[in-house]
């Protein structure tokens, strides 16, 4: 699976939007882009995933660059409960048949 690059940490203010970037310049045509987050002392939680088109769900939005070499997870209004490590992961099997390879992720801090 191709590698992803994320900033080590980011800070946000409560109730403001947060844009978490992820670079994946070696992405292949069959790689899905997944985002998971891990709150302290908990297992990871699925956030969103996509292949080519931008995606929206109740938790977040995923903006995928036209060349698919980068993507951005958007939290529209950060809350204190969104403080977590966010992982951007590529999986050629869409995560359903293969395991997920976790990088170091981005640690998001949210200030009140």
Partner 1 sequence: GAVVSQHPSRVICKSGTSVKIECRSLDFQATTMFWYRQFPKQSLMLMATSNEGSKATYEQGVEKDKFLINHASLTLSTLTVTSAHPEDSSFYICSAPPAAGMRETQYFGPGTRLLVL
Binding site for partner 1 (CB under 8 A): 32, 34, 36, 38, 41-46, 49, 87, 94-97, 99-105
Find the shortest distance in angstroms from Cβ 55 to partner 1: 11
- Least CB distance to partner 1 at residue 105 (A): 7
Compute the least distance from the CB of residue 97 to partner 1, in Å.
7
For partner 1, the closer of residues 30 and 112 by Cβ is: 30
**Tokens coding 109:** 């801090």
Which is closer to partner 1, CB of 72 or CB of 92? 92
CB of 15 within 8 A of CB of 24? no
Q: To the nearest whole angstrom, how small is the minimum distance from the Cβ of residue 36 to partner 1?
A: 8
- Closest to partner 1 by CB, 26 vs 57, is 57
Helix H, strand E, coil C: the string for the chain is: CCCCECCCEEEEECCCCEEEEEECCCCCCCCEEEEEEECCCCCCEEEEEECCCCEECCCCEEEECCCCCEEEEEECCCCHHHCEEEEEEEECCCCCCCCCCCCCCEEEEEEC
Our CB check for partner 1 shows the closer of 42 and 112 to be 42
């Amino acid at each position: 699976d191709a590698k992803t690059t994320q900033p080590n940490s980011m800070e946000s203010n409560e109730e403001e939007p947060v844009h978490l970037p992820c670079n994946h310049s070696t992405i292949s045509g069959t790689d899905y882009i997944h985002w998971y987050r891990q709150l302290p002392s908990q297992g990871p939680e699925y956030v969103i995933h996509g292949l080519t088109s931008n995606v929206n769900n109740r938790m977040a939005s995923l903006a995928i660059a036209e060349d698919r070499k980068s993507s951005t997870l958007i939290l529209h209004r950060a809350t204190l409960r969104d403080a977590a490590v966010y992982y951007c992961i590529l999986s050629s099997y869409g995560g359903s048949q293969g395991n997920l390879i976790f990088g170091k992720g981005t640690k998001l801090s949210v200030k009140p």
